[in-house]
Chains A and B, each alone.
Chain A
Amino acid sequence: AQSVAQPEDQVNVAEGNPLTVKCTYSVSGNPYLFWYVQYPNRGLQFLLKYITGDNLVKGSYGFEAEFNKSQTSFHLKKPSALVSDSALYFCAVRAPYILTGGGNKLTFGTGTQLKVEL
Chain B
Amino acid sequence: DAGVTQSPTHLIKTRGQQVTLRCSPKSGHDTVSWYQQALGQGPQFIFQYYEEEERQRGNFPDRFSGHQFPNYSSELNVNALLLGDSALYLCASSLASGGAIDTQYFGPGTRLTVL
Complex formed: what's the CA distance from A100 to B31 in Å?
Answer: 15
- What is the chain A residue whose CB lies nearest that of B10? A41
Of the 9-residue stretches A11-19, A62-70, A71-79, A104-112, which lies at the interface with chain B?
A104-112
Known: A36-B106, A43-B107, A51-B101. A107 touches B56 (CB 8 A): no
Partner of B106, one of A44, A96, A102, A107: A44
Complex formed: what's the CA distance from A59 to B56 in Å?
Answer: 28
**With a CB–CB cut-off of 8 A, which chain A residues contact B43?**
44, 90, 106, 108
Q: Which residues of B contact A (CB under 8 A)?
A: 4, 6, 31, 33, 35, 40-45, 48, 50, 55-56, 58, 90, 92, 94, 96, 99-109, 111
Interface contact A44-B90, CB-CB below 8 Å: yes
Complex formed: what's the CA distance from A49 to B96 in Å?
Answer: 17
Q: How far apart are B47's CB and chain A's nearest CB, in angstroms?
A: 9
**With a CB–CB cut-off of 8 A, which chain B residues contact A107?**
45
> How many A-B residue pairs lie within 8 Å, measured between CB atoms?
71
Complex formed: what's the CA distance from A36 to B42 in Å?
Answer: 11
Complex formed: what's the CA distance from A36 to B96 in Å?
Answer: 20
Complex formed: what's the CA distance from A51 to B101 in Å?
Answer: 7
- What are 14 A-B pairs at a CB distance below 8 A? A32-B100, A34-B103, A42-B109, A43-B6, A44-B43, A46-B104, A49-B103, A97-B100, A100-B56, A102-B96, A103-B48, A105-B56, A105-B58, A108-B42
- How big is chain A's contact interface, by range? 20 to 34
**With a CB–CB cut-off of 8 A, which chain A residues contact B94?**
104
Q: A41-B111, A104-B94, A110-B40 are in contact. List 18 more A-B contacts (CB 8 A).
A: A4-B42, A32-B100, A43-B4, A43-B106, A43-B107, A44-B43, A44-B90, A45-B106, A46-B103, A49-B103, A90-B43, A101-B55, A104-B33, A104-B102, A105-B33, A106-B43, A108-B43, A111-B41
Chain A, 1-58, CB within 8 A of any chain B CB: 4, 32, 34, 36, 41-46, 49, 51-52
Complex formed: what's the CA distance from A40 to B48 in Å?
Answer: 25
Complex formed: what's the CA distance from A36 to B106 in Å?
Answer: 10
Q: How far apart are B51's CB and chain A's nearest CB, in angstroms?
A: 10
